Chains A and B, each alone.
Chain A
Amino acid sequence: SQTIHQWPATLVQPVGSPLSLECTVEGTSNPNLYWYRQAAGRGLQLLFYSVGIGQISSEVPQNLSASRPQDRQFILSSKKLLLSDSGFYLCAWSVFHLGAINSPLHFGNGTRLTVT
């Protein structure tokens, strides 16, 4: 069965410090990978998604970047964190979409990031 691992679970970082959140998926090949953010009291905002190694699509221009160095690894980074980067970050995967195949998104347990 497929599993998704996301770490760390919680993180407190000062403003201006770098960020690296990692996510790995097991039990599937060539998944679509996603980073979402849930800000306090708000919905799930799509930040980045990737359909393959080195292929990153950005939904919202901001202080963050994403990379996919391996098929089942997705990394969210920032060079200098802002207070507004605080939130709950979620990694997710889905089956690679080919044509009309529909499959749901599966989430990790999230990282609570607090920028102080």
Chain B
Amino acid sequence: DQQVKQNSPSLSVQEGRISILNCDYTNSMFDYFLWYKKYPAEGPTFLISISSIKDKNEDGRFTVFLNKSAKHLSLHIVPSQPGDSAVYFCAATPRDGNQFYFGTGTSLTVIP
């Protein structure tokens, strides 16, 4: 059973515009949410995270939004750059838990 879902397998955006990647989860016990970026044949790299006590966290061009009532989070990248082209995974972990559950990923292509 997929507890973390990314329903868009791919997304194309023009350079300089905003990229919005979406993620939904089903487990109400999830307490901490993360976004990772992955290039082919490499391990995922941690990008940004958010705790359930917040609804927004910003780090440079990356902002993560959390809507707990909708069990939805999103990653905004502004402005998008060609180097942002990669697969993005969202992940979640429960309070006092040690498991990290990942979505299936969204492949972002930023067109120059």
Instruction: Give me the interface of A with B, judged by CB distance under 8 Å.
Output: 6, 32, 34, 36, 42-46, 49, 51, 57, 59, 88, 90, 92, 94, 97, 99-100, 102, 104-110, 112
Contacts and interface: CB of A to CB of B under 8 A. Distances in A.
A109 B41 CA distance: 7
A92 B83 CA distance: 24
Interface in B83-112: 89, 91, 93, 95-105
A110 B41 contact: yes
A85 B91 CA distance: 23
Contact of A107 (B44, B96, B97, B103): B44
A49 B42 contact: no
Given A44-B89, A104-B34, A109 B99 contact: no
Chain A contact surface mostly: strand
Nearest to A90: B43
B100 A46 contact: yes
A99 B43 CA distance: 28
A42 B2 CA distance: 12
A109 B100 contact: no
Contacts of A109: 41-43
A44 B41 CA distance: 13
Interface stretch (B11-19, B45-53, B72-80): B45-53
Contacts of A57: 98
Contact of A97 (B91, B97, B102, B103): B97
A43 B3 CA distance: 12
17 contacts: A6-B43, A42-B104, A43-B6, A43-B104, A44-B102, A44-B105, A46-B99, A51-B98, A92-B100, A97-B96, A102-B32, A102-B49, A102-B51, A107-B44, A109-B41, A110-B41, A112-B41
